[in-house]
Structure 1
Amino acid sequence: MTDSLRGFFDDIEAPDRSLVVLNRESPDPVRGLLDSLLEGGSVEIHDLDTPEPEADIVALVEDGEVLARSTLDELLESVLLINSDLYKTGTIDLDEVVLPDVLRGLDEVPFRVRGYPASNKEKLLLIVISRVIERIAAETGGGTLRASFQRLSRLDDERGTHEVYESVSGAGVDVHVYGVGDIDGTTLPVTVHTGTSYPYRRSWFVVFTPPEGGREGAATGVGDGGAPGDYAALVALEDEPNVWDGFWTFRPELVSRIERYIAEQV
């Protein structure tokens, strides 16, 4: 029985996967954006020229096998050229959030990301994964979403975050939010959990379990996860100031155990 959020890191599969940029024609600054996104993680990125006619394709590789592909343009449009402030201000609508296949395929790969000023991009990965899980919840229209914010005032201070949780709860999802109680209350129809222990101050989790009978078999391979009815979880812990260790998963059994731990122990 796991006795902490940190304990779930021992339960992930941690596959040895890498990214390969095939037939790169894009300039070095574009390649640098990809590097900066995953700089703190355990995922290596290589360039490779092949006889294929297509250029600027990013492949997810494990043991020499290509598991997923995305174009560099897809990565640029959905992640690499995005500023985190666009999510905070609500400039990007929830239904516009997209997780390219090669990033979705990094599920259960442990990573470490740094926030600003150490990095302008790495923490964005957490934000995008969070929004993807929130989109899954909203499109499912039921189930339970549990999310931590460290400071609950973010729910009202960040217009984009407020709109997202207004949409998710309005879709019929049972929403529970966790954090240090630095506000008297929120107008959102959510269940508020406040505290000062480690999970409230130093964790970043977004965990969705669909209604009973959801897509139990959804997360059986790379590219799965991200559709209505899927199980999905992000768990990240801030053991050093502004440095996060984390992972995301679409595995129903693991997501259910994470959700149960939060519901019973946090």
Structure 2
Amino acid sequence: MCGSVTISAFIDTVPLARRTLTVFNDDEPEPLVRMLRRMVDSPAVEVQAGEMSPESPENAVVVKDADGTELAVSSINAVGACVLLVNSDLYVTGTRSLDEVDTPAALLHLDEVPFTVTGKRKMLLIELSRYIESLGWQSDDNTLHAGFQYLSRIDDERGTRRVYDRLADSDTDLHLYGLPDRVPELSEDPTIHTEPRDELRESWFVVNTDCTADMKGVLLAERTGPSQWRGYWSFGADHVDEISAYLRKRYSP
């Protein structure tokens, strides 16, 4: 799929997966439903309040596919602490290390669902980026590709700098992409790709590949306006490898 394909084309052609996200909560389900609808802005995801019964899970978020098959159950507290009620300082200061990333399964199973996020709602993208970076940290003989639009953004937030210092110090084959306004000096030298292409300026991506299938993952997003993004994430090994092959071919040294 390389050829004349761009990162936008991967977003345009990802197979549409539909999900239902149901909130089970006795006290105040509607505020939680509204918060999740704003956070997970996708025509492919239906967010609803579930009817409480003796059989229903308590204070939980349940994700099902289009056939009604249950994919994941996560506690409301876990989802709230991860993306709904989180303080952005958690990411800015790097107080949570790669070893401590614990993304709720309910979010991970919104994979291959097209979404848009605006403003502070990009916490969802930050969380999935950290999750895929943590897969890279845990992997052996892996390659991690990360696009920042501008390379100076690696230094903009202490938390991001700490993450990529650790990845650079590991056995990960680290590739960083972005316009070269300021090239960061990491503890070990990664491979830097600074081609002046429009798609680098408009793209946010993290890809972990060259490892076992269960450790592969990709987050791919494209800026469509000020603080507005569209994209998806996926853990499909073939799909991850295809995007990695595209990056290697288009941005080979």
Q: Please confirm whether the aligned pair reaches a TM-score higher than 0.5, indicating the same fold.
A: yes
Cα pair distance change 1:60/1:180, threshold 3 Å = same
What amino acid does structure 2 have at the position aligned with 1:58?
V
Q: How does 1:88-99 map to 2 (within 5 A)?
A: 88-99=92-103
The residue number in structure 2 matching 1:262 is 247
What secondary structure sits across from 1:142 in the alignment?
Answer: coil
Q: How far apart are the structure 2 equivalents of 1:6 and 1:28?
A: 35
Q: How does 1:134-149 map to 2 (within 5 A)?
A: 134-149=133-148
Question: How many residue pairs align between the two structures?
Answer: 246
The residue number in structure 1 matching 2:192 is 192
Q: How far apart are the structure 2 equivalents of 1:54 and 1:10?
A: 36
Pick one of 18, 35, 38 that aligns with 1:36.
38
Residues 1:232 and 2:217 are matched in the alignment: yes
CA RMSD between the two structures: 1.9
Pick one of 43, 46, 49 that aligns with 1:47.
49
Q: How far apart are the structure 1 equivalents of 2:153 and 2:74?
A: 33
What amino acid does structure 2 have at the position aligned with 1:148?
G
Q: How far apart are the structure 1 equivalents of 2:242 and 2:57?
A: 42
What amino acid does structure 1 have at the position aligned with 2:90?
L
Answer whether contact 1:40 1:114 (CA < 8 A) is retained.
Answer: no
Shift of 1:27: 6.1
The residue number in structure 2 matching 1:126 is 125
What secondary structure sits across from 1:44 in the alignment?
Answer: strand
Pick one of 247, 258, 262 that aligns with 2:232.
247
Q: How far apart are the structure 1 equivalents of 2:56 and 2:114?
A: 33
Answer whether contact 2:29 2:49 (CA < 8 A) is retained.
Answer: no
Shift of 1:184: 4.7
Q: How far apart are the structure 2 equivalents of 1:84 and 1:198?
A: 28
Residues 1:81 and 2:85 are matched in the alignment: yes
Q: How far apart are the structure 2 equivalents of 1:110 and 1:124?
A: 16
What amino acid does structure 2 have at the position aligned with 1:73?
N
Shift of 1:141: 3.8
Q: How does 1:163-174 map to 2 (within 5 A)?
A: 163-174=162-173
Q: How far apart are the structure 2 equivalents of 1:53 and 1:239?
A: 39
Cα pair distance change 1:188/1:149, threshold 3 Å = farther
What amino acid does structure 1 have at the position aligned with 2:14?
I
Deviation readout 1:94-137 (Å, 9 max, x if unpaired): 2222221111111100101112xxxx3x2111100000000000
Answer whether contact 1:142 1:172 (CA < 8 A) is retained.
Answer: yes
Q: How far apart are the structure 2 equivalents of 1:72 and 1:185?
A: 38
TM-score, length-scaled by structure 2: 0.89
Shift of 1:83: 2.6
Answer whether contact 1:142 1:171 (CA < 8 A) is retained.
Answer: no
The residue number in structure 2 matching 1:154 is 153
What amino acid does structure 2 have at the position aligned with 1:236?
A
What amino acid does structure 2 have at the position aligned with 1:61?
K
Q: How does 1:196-215 map to 2 (within 5 A)?
A: 196-211=196-211, 214-215=212-213
Pick one of 50, 55, 60 that aligns with 1:57.
60
Answer whether contact 2:164 2:186 (CA < 8 A) is retained.
Answer: no
Answer whether contact 2:117 2:229 (CA < 8 A) is retained.
Answer: yes
Answer whether contact 1:24 1:47 (CA < 8 A) is retained.
Answer: no
Answer whether contact 1:207 1:233 (CA < 8 A) is retained.
Answer: yes
Shift of 1:53: 5.6
Answer whether contact 2:94 2:160 (CA < 8 A) is retained.
Answer: yes
What amino acid does structure 1 have at the position aligned with 2:46?
E
